[in-house]
Amino acid sequence: MYGVIEGFFGIWVIIGIGYWAGKKNLFGDNGRYILNRLTFFVASPMLLFTTIAAAKPREALGPQLFIAGTSAMIVFLAFWIFSRLAFQRSSGERTIGAMAASTVNAGNLGLPIAIYALGDISLAAPIALFQMSVMTPISLAMMEKATANGETKFAGVLWRTVTNPMIVASMLGLLCSIFQWLPPQIIMTPVQLLAGASIPAMLLGFGLSLVGSRPLQRSSKRRLEVWIASVAKLVLHPLLAWALAAWVFGLDPTGQYIAVIMAALPTAQNIFVNADRYESGITVAKDTVLLTTVLGIPVMLGFAAVLLNFG
């Protein structure tokens, strides 16, 4: 499981650099704002497009895709409903919390773990494809509706949704993937360069956000939600994936192991970027990302030990 440690280490280092830069005020008072806007409106759409466009749907359309999608949506809906009933949060906060509880770090953690821990980078494709082409557009459409500032006309909300750069990039990437076509390299070169800035900018922005903040503060009145979202992400999600792999799809121990490890990945950092962009659920997003990233290694090693020894 060296690949797990290697993947997490890279994330911690960049977050640490962001934290150090924030302490030194290297980026000024608006550093986090600029980095998160860069990520949401420019770099992440480019990353979504390049990742989805390069995917081969036929290779990803297998049991692992349905396991990843079904388990993620169950956790998403369960947390969304629970947050409404137990905490009576706004629609925006419920959606961000549900995203934090169900969206895995399929990019900068899923890919290296697929390579080094599972031995095949294509194993990260099903969950990445589902999240980027299905889950991201749906959740962002929900956030657009939740933060419409009193706008009740369906046409207005629909326009905000279809012009969201993340959704536009996802849909264009999906079309390119389906038709197995990519724009000429003269166009792809700047797109790929901007895509490469997404994850570093995202992690640096997250590190900046930690300056002066104290996670899991009682005064935030969100501590219980953060723990519930973290347990849902690191425990409930992989257990659901295992149940689907073993009982519904009848996968062998190796297939079950792949499904569980991919589902046990911590919360993706882009959930914090989304929360910051829509100014909703920021505390839950930030603390859940931090907590699941810290606890991710022991949890994944525990699942690996159980599945490899008793599978």
Q: What is the mean pLDDT of the chain?
A: 84
Tokens linked to 259: 């499904």
Query: Structural domain tally of the chain?
Result: 1
Question: Which helix (H) or strand (E) element contains residue 104?
Answer: none
Number of Cβ within a 10 Å radius of residue 94: 24
The end-to-end CA distance of the chain, in Å, is: 17
Q: What CATH number has the domain bearing residue 304?
A: 1.20.1530.20
Number of Cβ within a 10 Å radius of residue 161: 18
pTM: predicted TM-score of the whole model, two decimal places = 0.80
Least Cα distance to 113 among 257, 15, 235, 230 occurs for: 257
**What are the φ/ψ torsions at residue 104 (nearest 5 degrees)?**
-90, 160
> For residues 197 and 41, is the Cβ–Cβ distance under 8 A?
no
Q: What is residue 104's predicted lDDT score, i.e. its pLDDT?
A: 92
Q: 126-150: per-residue pLDDT in tens?
A: 787 788 778 888 888 898 888 876 5
3-state SS assignment for residue 178:
helix
Q: Looking at 1-5, 89-93, 281-285, 303-307, which range is the least confident one?
A: 1-5
Q: What is residue 199's predicted lDDT score, i.e. its pLDDT?
A: 82
Q: 232-242: per-residue pLDDT in tens?
A: 999 999 999 99
Q: 100-114: per-residue pLDDT in tens?
A: 999 998 766 676 577
* DSSP 8-state class, residue 28: -
Q: What is residue 152's predicted lDDT score, i.e. its pLDDT?
A: 52
Which residue segment(s) compose the domain that 217 sits in? 2-310
CA distance 256 to 254: 5
pLDDT for residue 98 is more than 70: yes
How confident is residue 190, by pLDDT bands cut at 50, 70 and 90? very high
